[in-house]
Amino acid sequence: MGEVRKLHKKLRQIENLEIKPFLTQEEREKISRKVELRSRLAELLLQLSAPQQGQGTVGDEKERMKRQVEDSLEVVVSQSPPAKVPRESSDRVPSQRREVAPGYPAESQTGTSEPQEDPKHNCLRASWEGARFRLRLLEGHSDIVTCVVAVDNLVISGSRDTTVKVWHVPTASEQRNLGGHSGGITGLLAPLPEYCRRLAKSLSLNEREQFVLSGSVDCTIKIWALSSGCCVKSIYTFNAISALCFVPDGEGLIVTGSDGGKVEVWSWDTMENCQSIKAHEDSVTSLQSHGPLLFSGSAEGGVSVWEAQCSRAAPLRMLHQWSSAVTGCGRQNGATVSQLTLSPRGDRVFLANGRASLKILNWRTGSVSKVANHSSVAGVTDCVSQTGGVLIGSCFDLATGESTLNLFSLPLCKYLVSLTCPEYPRILCFTGWLTASGCHRWVTGGRALTVWEQLPANGKQRGDVTAKRNSQLEASLEESGTDTEEDSDGKTDSCSASHTTDLSNYPCSKMSDTPLPGR
C-alpha cells in the first residue's frame, strides 16, 4: 500500500498543478506524467484486488480490465478495517468534544448509538433514486472555467482565458462575450435586484437593468450591464483578486480577497475602498455571504467569520477566526493542495479542500466533523454548494478519472445518491437553482462548462446521467477524530480559536431554498 499512497499523493499534486494560473517548465513535465502514473496506480489496485492473478491475465481483454480497475477501489476499501471511534476522555479540551449532528442521538452509557429513522430523509432519498439528468456542453472558453453565477435564465461564466461569457441556458447558446480583463477571472457575483436598481439609477440606465461583477488577477473589478454587455464601471484594487463576494446589508458591500491574504471592502454606492485587513497568511480562495455575515477561507486552511456593521470606516468586524489546526484543511508536508471552498448554513460551514471528505465546521464552537464524499482516499473534493434542500459535493477520482456529484439531505447531511460521469473533467465550480416546474438545473465548470437539466419523473426522455446510490457512502457522518489515509500526515492540534468572541446568543438567519425569482 506504500506505493499506492505515494501515487495518490503524486496524482493529487499533479491535478492541483493543472489548475494553477501559471506553470513552470518543471511543473509541465510533472503534469505530462499523469497518464503514466494513473496507469501504474490502476495496475497496483488490480493486483491488490486479485493477487492470485498472473501478469498475463490482463491486456488481452480491455473491457474486462477496465471494469476490474473501476471496482478495485471499492475492494481495497472493503478490505480495510473499520475506523474505530475513540471514546471521549475526561481530559480533552471542550473544543475537541464530539458534535452530534441534529437527528442523531447522543451516545448511551454503553458508548453505542443507533441512527434514528428519518421519514423525511427516506422520502427524499426515494425521490432522488433513479433521477435522470440531461447534460449539455457550453462551448466557447479556451481555458479552465473558474467561476459561474446565475441570473434568471442566464449563466455567467468566468475563465482563466480572461473572458466573461453570458449564456442563455434553455438554448445552451452563448449570448455575449465580455472581454476587457487582461488576466484570468477569479470571481463573479450578481447583486440583488434592489442594488441593481440603485446602480442603474445612478448611471441613468433602465431600472430593470441587471449587472454582474467580475474580479481578476489583473487587479480590477469590472461591472457589466447584461443587456448591452458594456463595462459601466472599473475599480482598480492594487492587488490581484483571488475571490469576490457581495454582502447585501445596508448600503451593500463589495468584498474582495487577494492572493496575499487581504480582505478588502468597497462601498456599493461610492465604489471607494473603505477597509483593508490582512486576514489570512495565504491567498483568500473563497468568500461567501450569509445574511449580514461573511465567511472567508484561505489556501492555508483557515476560516474567518465577519459581521457587517453600520460603520463607514470599518464596515466588517471579525467575529471568529479558526486556523488550519482547527479545520484540518491545511497543507500537508508542504504539498500543493487544492483551494479551500466553503458554503455556510446557519452555524455551520461546509468545507471542501481537495480531499476525499467534506468537512463541517461549527463556526461558533470550532468543532469539526466530516462527511465521506468518496469511497477511498483517491477522491478529490473541489466544491460544495446547497440548492433545493440538498447539499452537493463534487468529487474527482484520481485513479479512474471519473467525476461525481454526491447529494446529501439537509440539515442532517445524510447521503442520498450520486451522479457519476465516466471520463468527465474535474468539476471546479458549481451553481444551481430550481426551475418553475420544480426540477433542478445546475451548471458546473472546470475544463468543461456543462448544464445539468433534471428530466421530469414521468417523462420518457432518456437521460445522460442517472442518480444511483453508492453503498460505500451510506454512513456519511464520520467522527472528527477518525483520521483516514487522506489526512494522516497532518495532525490536528487542540481546537483553540485565535479570536474568542462570545457567540452563544448571536442570531443566525436560516438559509432559504426558495427558487430565485424569474427562474
Domain map (residue ranges) of the chain: 1-50, 343-494
Whole-number Å distance between alpha carbons of 500 and 482: 26
Residue 415, beta-bridge partner list: 408
Extract the C-alpha cell encoding 399. 485513479
Rounded Cα–Cα distance for residues 11 and 409 (Å): 31
Strand partners, 304: 296, 321
What is the SS3 string spanning 323-378? CHHHHCCCCCCCCCCCCCEEEEECCEEEEECCCCEEEEEECCCCCEEEEECCCCCC
Grid cell digits, residue 344: 455556510
CA distance 484 to 358: 13
Q: Where are the alpha helices (DSSP H) in 260-306?
A: none
Residue 206 dihedral angles phi and psi, to the nearest 5°: -55, 135
Element (H, E) at 264: strand 262-267
The pTM for the full model equals 0.76
Which fold is adopted by the domain 343-494?
Answer: Lipocalin (2.40.128)
Query: What pLDDT is stored for residue 283 in this prediction?
Result: 93
- Three-state SS at 156: strand
Cell readout for 333 is: 508536508
pLDDT tens per residue, range 325-379:
999 887 655 554 568 999 999 999 999 988 899 999 999 999 999 999 998 778 8
| Per-residue model confidence (pLDDT) at position 321 | 96
Its sign, for the CA torsion 247, 251, 254, 260, is negative
Which residues pair with residue 407 across a beta bridge? Answer: 392, 417
Q: CA of 449: how far to CAs of 29, 144, 390, in Å?
A: 27, 9, 22
* Cell 478495485 belongs to residue: 72
> All 3 cell numbers of residue 19?
489548475
- Give the number of C-alpha atoms closer than 13 A to the C-alpha of residue 250, restricted to the C-beta side: 16
Supply the pLDDT for residue 18.
73
Neighbouring C-alpha atoms within 13 Å toward the C-beta of 425: 15
* Contact by Cβ (8 Å): 368, 496: no
Residues 462-495 have pLDDT tens digits of 788 999 998 877 754 444 334 444 444 433 333 3
Backbone dihedral angles phi then psi of residue 390, each to the nearest 5 degrees? -130, 150
Q: Phi/psi at 90 (nearest 5 deg)?
A: -75, -15
Spell out the per-residue pLDDT of the chain, length 519, in tens. 677 777 777 777 777 777 766 667 787 788 788 778 877 777 777 776 654 443 333 344 444 444 444 444 443 333 334 434 343 333 333 333 334 344 433 333 334 444 456 788 889 999 999 999 999 999 999 999 999 999 988 999 999 999 999 999 989 999 999 999 999 999 999 999 999 999 999 999 999 999 999 999 999 999 999 999 999 999 999 999 999 999 998 889 999 999 999 999 999 999 999 999 999 999 999 999 998 999 999 999 999 999 998 877 889 999 999 999 999 887 655 554 568 999 999 999 999 988 899 999 999 999 999 999 998 778 889 999 999 899 999 999 888 889 999 999 999 899 999 999 988 899 999 999 999 889 999 999 999 999 999 998 876 677 889 999 988 777 544 443 344 444 444 333 333 333 333 333 333 333 333 333 333
Return the pLDDT at 21: 60
